[in-house]
Chains A and B, each alone.
Chain A
């Protein structure tokens, strides 16, 4: 049995240690906000936080995630920065199909936690691993600045 702590809840899972965290989260724990897009850490749809760091859950094994604090999109509405990012996404109408946006929001939230006022170049650097096939990148960039501004106003 492997113990995973996801969004503050402890789960005892009977899965092999080499199972990617993504499939443990989606198929076993059945939290489906985290998406499968490529399986090779190329698209970022599966981004979650492990001890606060954005990681690709499709290439992080359950064995490597055990013992850490895993945070998924489902917990973002309880997270002060995550909330600002979600609000920015809604205010600016970022999402089109929406499938990649959980991963985008997880990457953006991690960025803003480390850098409250990122430049365009810093945003591109942090977000280049997240593909959006609908092409919402301009609004994502705008929304990250917008969330950063909202955080400044609140602080």
Chain B
């Protein structure tokens, strides 16, 4: 796509469906603006209301109807493969009564004041936006009905919106949405208390999974096709990397090899001789904490990406490693050993019940295990990339970004502009997984835009840049001790968890995990054991630590679900039966009773820890997988479950270990309970993808540091799953699709139980217990 128009705003409009321009003169533009119904300051806010920017349900913000009947839904959440551009539009279209074929989606710019919270992480988009989007669309529908009533001189109660039209049953008259748009715009927005939502059963798109295959040529769509689907398969979808301008320049940056190192000197004479290289710019290294700030380094600006890369290779840079302090001595082998040593000693007590030491001392049997999960890089297939143009004191930016507000306000900061003078257009994201929650790459483009005389500049990260300078998943050591009585029943459980914390991005030397990290399956551990002690010894941070899909749920689930299997083995009991015994009877636990005041930001009186739902996914998945059946030699079934992002997942993995130690995953059965389901098809694909990523975490993916430098460079060293690593079959079993249940997350909760299920299957197949990830060649004999 080539664009050189000053007024260009990337729309990401699905071209197939888009029929009209935004905010046309006669479009439905509603004047009224609602303020959020905020409770008193003293009262804690939960869910969307507790997020920066809160929620907005003003139809004027999200819905436009043109006189030709085309409906445009504004989507303000970032699309990175989770399907929110499709799923939220399904919600709006259903509640409005719009015909899917006449609905287009337009991506919102970064503007949290206008749209409410846009930070697309934490598996929150649907659980926070289902209700506001329904209200916005229902309001618009009621205004269309009122407009029709006025036209016909009948009571609005006699007018009902059907599919893309309003009908007056008594007279048989109908008016299309487009014909009503102009009149409807003059009407007042209904009071929130007067909004009438459709009954769930009246929805045509929500929950639709009738047939996963498009009926070619029939004109019937059994379920909505994914927005952007055609553009993706035709190569015309616009990701961040695809923004082009005729006068654009391209930049790559040689970043400090160690976090905090500074440029001591640079010789750019050879770089400037490379054809196409225009300019070399040294960027300041920011002081720690790293935050979302650019890392500094030396940028090469050129007429094309290749020239910029060639120029970077020709730079001669001396780095001041002293500036990096201890980071320059960061060695993950040593660090792991230090954490394993620290795990032998007591740490900060996070939760305690009963007398754990006495229970361990008096137990008939005790077992102990230490688990390790390495650093990992998110490595989205689209490496970080951003375009910024600075002209006449205003900045225009285009970026694939999960956190648009952080990008916009960060740009305003580095450019010294008011945020009103910064426009950030959100493109499609070629994967996110948490990496694109941090806008450092966008801010780099902002800094370089000051150097290009008003021309747009694209900062392109190479894969090596991405692997070296991720915001890494935290390395972790988890040590568990279990006490069993003579019957094998669990009497004591001690868990010490050690990891650098993401808080280290924002403050100097935090030593403990934050509440939002402990709340990811650690202090919320649900087992019904008399003596429990959960501790968090100290751990320093020497690299940028950041969110990686599912975050600290990964090590917590790996350790807890592996150890539960080890306890079952010690007790001589079936793993599933033992898990259910550990869970005890179905209980609804207030997370605050476990010391978790975070609860993913949700109301703990609504979103409880429900061991009944845990039992249900375990029982479902083991039944579907025919748990307990005889397996061929070298092949075994492994089970794990986890509760995260307010959803419940249980997995059975059927794995075979070859004589050479290679692992083949034959089947994966996944039972999933996220409460009410809007787009079951996309829920299934998220679970399938999480399963594959989890297999990679179990078997292959690891980032190591030596002397503060990442040792892996590209996909030949940082291994991620390929087709042969995927299960030969994945079966997803969605349960509890109940509108009365509070909605849980989807994008992340499928991931945490995968790695322990794989390792439990390896144990069943071989008798070899994996406590250190990734498996790599541990099974080779």
Contacts and interface: CB of A to CB of B under 8 A. Distances in A.
Interface of A: 15-16, 19-20, 23, 26-28, 30-40, 42-43, 45, 72-74, 76-77, 85-87, 89-93, 95-102, 105, 120, 123-124, 127-141
B212 interface: yes
Given A27-B306, A32-B244, A101-B232, A135 B429 contact: no
Contacts of B304: 15, 19, 23, 27-28
Interface string B330-370: 00000000000000000000000000000000000000000
A133 B723 contact: no
B236 interface: yes
Nearest to B229: A90
Contacts of A140: 723
13 contacts: A33-B236, A36-B383, A40-B716, A42-B463, A76-B234, A76-B235, A93-B229, A97-B430, A133-B431, A135-B690, A136-B688, A136-B689, A137-B726
Contacts of B306: 19-20, 23, 27
Interface in B226-256: 226, 228-230, 232-239, 241-242, 244, 250
B460 interface: yes
Contact of B235 (A23, A102, A123, A137): A102
A16 B381 contact: no
B1 interface: yes
A98 B81 contact: yes
A136 B685 CA distance: 8
B774 interface: no
B275 A16 contact: yes
A102 B238 CA distance: 12
A92 to B, nearest CB: 7
A124 to B, nearest CB: 5
A61 B140 CA distance: 55
Given A23-B304, A98-B228, A136-B689, A128 B722 contact: yes
Interface of B: 1-2, 79-83, 212-214, 216, 225-226, 228-230, 232-239, 241-242, 244, 250, 275, 304-306, 309, 379-383, 428-433, 460, 462-464, 681-682, 685-686, 688-693, 714-716, 720-730
Nearest to A95: B232
Given A40-B714, A120-B728, A98 B720 contact: no
B468 to A, nearest CB: 14
Contact of A97 (B80, B213, B693, B726): B80
Contact of A27 (B305, B382, B432, B716): B305
Contact of B693 (A40, A120, A135): A135
Contacts of B730: 138
Most chain A beta carbons < 10 A, residue from B81, B225, B686: B81
B460 A130 contact: no
A117 B686 CA distance: 29
A95 B228 CA distance: 9
B715 A131 contact: yes
Nearest to B240: A99
Nearest to B230: A90
A133 B720 contact: yes
Most chain A beta carbons < 10 A, residue from B2, B226, B382: B382
Nearest to A101: B232
A55 B248 CA distance: 28
Given A93-B226, A99-B431, A134-B81, A33 B726 contact: no
A35 B234 contact: no
Contact of A135 (B1, B432, B691): B691
The 5 closest A-B pairs by CB, nearest first: A33-B235, A135-B692, A99-B430, A97-B81, A96-B81
Contacts, number: 198
A133 B379 contact: yes
Most chain B beta carbons < 10 A, residue from A90, A120, A127, A130: A90
A27 B250 contact: yes
A94 B85 CA distance: 16
Contact of B721 (A39, A127, A137): A137
Given A39-B462, A90-B229, A97-B79, 8 more contacts: A23-B306, A27-B306, A36-B383, A39-B714, A89-B232, A99-B382, A133-B720, A137-B722
A139 B432 CA distance: 20
A123 B1 contact: no
Contacts of B431: 97, 99, 133-134
Nearest to B303: A27
Given A40-B716, A90-B233, A105-B233, A99 B305 contact: no
A43 B727 contact: no
A127 to B, nearest CB: 5
A96 B235 contact: no
Contacts of A101: 232-233
Contact of A93 (B237, B432, B681): B681
Given A27-B250, A73-B235, A138-B730, A38 B463 contact: yes
Most chain B beta carbons < 10 A, residue from A30, A127, A132, A135: A135
B433 A133 contact: yes
A89 to B, nearest CB: 5
B681 A135 contact: no
Nearest to A88: B233
A27 B694 CA distance: 35
Contacts of A99: 239, 380-382, 430-431
Given A32-B244, A137-B723, A95 B229 contact: yes
Given A16-B275, A37-B463, A93-B229, A86 B689 contact: no
Nearest to B231: A98
B282 to A, nearest CB: 24
Contacts of B715: 38, 40, 42-43, 131
